[in-house]
Every structure is written in structure tokens, then in C-alpha cells.
Chain A
Amino acid sequence: KQEVTQIPAALSVPEGENLVLNCSFTDSAIYNLQWFRQDPGKGLTSLLLIQSSQREQTSGRLNASLDKSSGRSTLYIAASQPGDSATYLCAVRPTRTYKYIFGTGTRLKVLA
């Protein structure tokens, strides 16, 4: 059974730091992996999607990598800003399913 883990559960950093959020999954048979941002009391916004054949995707200050063989993905945020404060979730879609399995998220606080 696919399980998705995100560590740490919470993280505080000073403004301007580069940081890495981690996501691990137990089964490498996936269609894709997505990173989402969730602000308090709000829905999820997709940040980056990496298909199983890809190694990384970039959008602005965000870069996500995927290593299926080790069951890991990282989300790199460059030059963090207070506006980046939110919960970041990753989700995988296993092959032969239409389910998405979510991690429990990393709550990020960027201090001004």
C-alpha cells in the first residue's frame, strides 16, 4: 500500500534562506507527483507536477525533483519570503489507479 511521508512537519526559517522540503513514498510505481500549497482555511493550489518520466520541474523560485528509485521528491524554495508561509503538501498518483495519496504536509513559516 502506497504511503507518503513528509518530514519535518513544521519548519521556521528567516527570510532570504534557501530551503528544501522533503517527500518520500513507499512504492515507485507512480504516474506523477504533485506539490501543493495550502494557506490556512483555504483550498490547495498546485505548484508543480512531475510526471514519472521526468526528473524535475521548475517554476520561478521553486524547483521540484523526483527520484522514483529511492522514493523521494524534494521541493526547493529559493530566497524564501514571508509570503511563502503556508503548508506544503505532496501527493502521488499510483499507476493503474485514479487515486491520489497525500502526505500530511510541512507547515512552513518564513520570518521577516
Chain B
Amino acid sequence: EAQVTQNPRYLITVTGKKLTVTCSQNMNHEYMSWYRQDPGLGLRQIYYSMNVEVTDKGDVPEGYKVSRKEKRNFPLILESPSPNQTSLYFCASSGTDSGNTIYFGEGSWLTVV
């Protein structure tokens, strides 16, 4: 079954404590991306990756880091989380052709206090 798996699904953390949200896909997709979803603002892209060791900033990259050491994994790193990073985060993957559907993970609810 085609899947994008994110962990953790729910997390409450404190300001400044580094955390990593993992993302893994089993479809051998080249493209992976992270989004955050906030009320009234919709989905905004944080970072994306076209393949191993190839990453680029999306629209709201400040405060986040990513890495793509393996094709299936694309972790999102918050080095020093702040309350304005409280959000619902989604990982997504797809092939790179124009006919490829995007697959999304179930989401990770992150609260920074």
C-alpha cells in the first residue's frame, strides 16, 4: 500500500528544545515536501526536495532545516522551536512528471509552549 508515514503524530514541546519530525515514503518518489497548515492561511510549503541531497526552500523556511540522505526519508528539524511554530505539519511525496498525484501523510500536530 502506498504510504507516507510521519512521526510523531502529536507532540507538545517547550521553546528551544530541538525536535525532529520524521517522514518516510514507500513509493520510490523523487519529490518530497513539508507543509504547515494554519487556520486562515492554508497550506504553506516549508522545504522540498527533488532527490537525494537536493533540497530547496519553500515559502516559509525560517526556523526549519531538512535533509535528504536517503530517497525514502525526509526529516524536518526544528533546531530551536518557538511558539509561532505551533501548527499542523504535513509531509508529501510524488513523482516529478506533470501527471503525478501528491500523496500526503496523516499530519503531525505540534505545540510549542
Chain A contacts to B: CB under 8 angstroms: 31-32, 34, 36, 41-46, 49, 51-52, 89, 91, 93, 98-100, 102-105
Contact = CB atoms under 8 A, between A and B. Distances in A.
Nearest to B101: A46
A42 B31 contact: no
A43 B40 contact: no
Which 7 A-B pairs rank lowest in CB-CB distance, beginning with the nearest?
A104-B42, A102-B43, A43-B104, A31-B98, A44-B104, A46-B101, A43-B106
Majority-rule SS of B interface residues: strand
Chain B interface bracket (under 10, 10 to 19, 20 to 34, 35 or more): 20 to 34
Interface in B1-20: 4
22 contacts: A31-B98, A32-B98, A32-B99, A36-B104, A41-B109, A43-B4, A43-B90, A43-B107, A44-B90, A46-B101, A46-B102, A46-B103, A49-B101, A51-B98, A89-B43, A98-B31, A98-B96, A99-B58, A100-B102, A102-B35, A102-B44, A104-B40
A41 B105 CA distance: 12
A100 B45 contact: yes
Contacts of B59: 99
Contact of B42 (A32, A34, A52, A105): A105
Contacts, number: 57
Contacts of A42: 106-107
B104 A93 contact: no
Given A42-B107, A100-B33, A102-B35, 5 more contacts: A52-B98, A89-B43, A98-B33, A99-B45, A103-B42
